[in-house]
Amino acid sequence: MSRKIPLLPLRELIVFPHEVVPLFVGREKSINALEEAMADDRHILLCAQKKAKVNDPKPEGIHAFGTIGTIIQLLRLPDGTVKVLVEGKTRARIEEYIDTSKFFLVEAESIESPKIDPDDDPELAALMRSVQTTFENYVKLNKRVPPELAVSVQSIDNPSRLADTIAAHVNFKLTAKQELLETESVRARLEKLYELMQNEIEILQVEKKIRTRVKKQMEKNQKEYYLNEQMQAIQKELGSQDEFKNELAELEDRIRRKRMSKEATERLKKELRKLKMMSPMSAEATVVRNYIDTVLALPWQDRTDDKLEIDEAEKILDEDHYGLEKPKQRILEYLAVQKLVKKIRGPILCLVGPPGVGKTSLAKSVARATGRKFVRVSLGGVRDEAEIRGHRRTYIGAMPGKIIQGLRRAGSTNPVFLLDEIDKMSMDFRGDPSSAMLEVLDPEQNSTFVDHFLDLDYDLSEILFLCTANSLHTIPLPLKDRMEIIELTGYTDEDKLKIAKQYLVPKQTELNGLGSVEVSMSDGAVKELIHHYTKEAGVRSLEREVSSVLRKLARDYVLEGKKKKAFKVDAKGVQKLLGPRKFRYNKAEDKDMLGMVNGLAYTTLGGDLLPVETTITSGKGKVTLTGKLGDVIKESATAAVTYVRARSLALGLDPDFYEHVDFHVHFPEGAVPKDGPSAGVTITTCLVSALLRARVRRDVAMTGEINLRGKVLPIGGLKEKVLAAYRADIKTVICPKENEKDLHDIPKNVVRAIDFKFAENIDQVLRWALAELPEDHPNSQLRKFLAGEDVTPEDDWRSVREWMRERDRKRREEQEKGREVH
């Protein structure tokens, strides 16, 4: 039945039928609606707002379902608000909003619940009983619902009233209550109510478990505290605290006898006084005791005596390592100065080189040669500043940083301290460890290094710091500036041969249990391992392969009953033991080639021969570069093409030649990344050879950067590149003039075997690299250019076009003859 009725919007409240609710009303429209209801029949429609924070809701912001209620009592308060007591009667649905100016007047249809006798419907009766039982369980768990309500609910026999009464008193969400209000079917309403109550009971049970667990824990802590207090009282009465007093007396004696700085002594005395006033069982006492033990364990003034005999130190260094002259000389210089000066700051050396060249093991040899303790700290992957400086004592489990911990292990204040893999440090939100290393590695500051845990000045100036790194570009510039950089290059094949014969083979023979057997590996066997089973700058893989050979010999020795007294291994024996070759080195071609030049590359594994190929096809000047190239090498190729175009007349090329051809420059071994500017002269020579049909000498290799004016600029890694050329039987190496000073780093036997050409411009490179032109080659310009004569742009280049036309005509004739034969 529809009727006109004033509407009262409710905030965060839903009124069910048969529910009596007090309301405080303050909005003007709501008060007007109450006055209209009081003037009529005291009936008012109670509907919930969709958003409680809206002060002046619109019709679309109010739920369409609500409850028609009767105003039982209305009281005006002094502050202008109204307190009203309302009893819900029946559900209603808003059909239409008639007036919204002074208050909400709506056309609403009341929804009467059908009268159902549970005795006639056993299923409904069972559902009602389940709901009543569930509500009783809910009341037991929720102390905010009075137990009397559960008794009154048991006496309700109307299913609709039962559902509304329970829904009004259970702590559901507003959306769930609104759904219950809008559910007209009594059976569906009871089922939904039962489901919601089951969920609420599960939540209440979990909350109860949590409260019980917390209560038990609190009781346990209180019990432990009470018992500890009793134990202390008993111990005090019995005088059994002597053990703690003895410990304090021992600490006091250690502080008195320990040679430390004045600041450290005063700090420890202060901490000991605090410890005496604490309970021995307290957590703070443990922290203070740990701090005192840590400070006392440090070697404040304990140092080892340096061995200052330079001859003996040099002998030890040479015994352990072959080569590595630069770092050895620097250590001997330090010892010489130490002998002349009583106190000298420890040097901070950074050994930079590829893996396996002996950086880490050299640090151990330095410690042995100088008679110092050795400490190694790996910095690879360190990303927390506290790893270096330590954690402050406010944190649970705080400890000193790696520097102080290393000194504690060493037991002396002047060890050889190796900071391994310093280029592998990283940073994150916890700080930048490389910034913390600035103080450690600065000779002007590290005499007053402060660790966060100690909070005391500690002198690091007597430490001989050695750092190792594989590359310098990942080390921050301020940190790099504090270190003395010593670069270690890769070993030559001759170096590796001597290292294997003098160090690796004897060492691995002992380790593999063949010390009682005569084992000899020929030079050919070792070279076979170096050239075809390893590819590295150092000797780490070589040592593994030597060990693999000796393990197989050990197996044969055991299988033969330990009767064999000697083993000899040659190159063929290596292949038999280790199987097929794993690596190959690029070798020079058998004959002079068109559009192919031997370049030289430097990698972390040493040097290598890098052939560059160019093919010219008809096109429109497109340049294609392949071989997994980086941006820098691509820019070098662009500069090379631009230079060739700029020098086209001097080389005897048509000035617009690039409009009719495409260039494809390829670097073989396409899966290997390549980058760097040193391939500039190689690409230029390759382009000129392909364009002019001039062959490149097979025994020539080159390296160098070029600019647009044709200047050849210096490059790095010359030693490794020259060694790669030497391995590949290259007779002539063309390199920049400014790199001539680097020849002293290259072994003398290699310098004698190779003819070095030092170029200042690309014209010199072309004259040295291009082979003699055939007699039928018509390019007079190029012939003059290669002969070193002055080439003028006015020389006729049309003969080149005629020569190319004649060549194309001959090719067509050969193709036609082939078709006739076919």
Which residues are part of the catalytic machinery? Answer: 678, 721
Which own/partner contact pairs does 285-294 have at CB distance under 8 Å and 24+ positions apart?
287/393, 287/398, 289/251, 291/393, 291/453, 292/251, 292/255, 292/268, 294/400, 294/408, 294/453, 294/454
Strand partners, 629: 674
**Euclidean distance between CA atoms 425 and 421, whole angstroms:** 8
CB crowding 301-329: b at 16 or more within 10 Å, else e: eeebebeeebeebbebbeebbbbbeebbe
CB crowding 499-531: b at 16 or more within 10 Å, else e: bbbebbbeebbeebebeebebebeeebbbbbbb
Burial of 557 (0-12, 13-18, 19+ CB in 10 A): buried
Closest CA to 746 of 491, 496, 469: 491
C-alpha distance from residue 386 to each of 286, 292, 400, 406, 437 (Å): 22, 20, 8, 15, 11
**Euclidean distance between CA atoms 525 and 572, whole angstroms:** 8
Strand partners, 20: 87
Beta-carbon count within 10 A of 621 CB? 14
Burial of 197 (0-12, 13-18, 19+ CB in 10 A): buried
Q: Which amino acid is at 133?
A: T
**Euclidean distance between CA atoms 358 and 361, whole angstroms:** 5
∠ CA 298-300-303, rounded to 5°:
105
C-alpha distance from residue 277 to each of 281, 395, 472, 508 (Å): 12, 22, 53, 61
**Euclidean distance between CA atoms 190 and 185, whole angstroms:** 9
DSSP summary character for residue 412: S
Closest CA to 660 of 648, 670, 651: 648
Which residues contact residue 748 at a Cβ distance below 8 angstroms, ignoring those fewer than 6 apart? none
∠ CA 715-721-725, rounded to 5°:
135
Burial of 181 (0-12, 13-18, 19+ CB in 10 A): buried
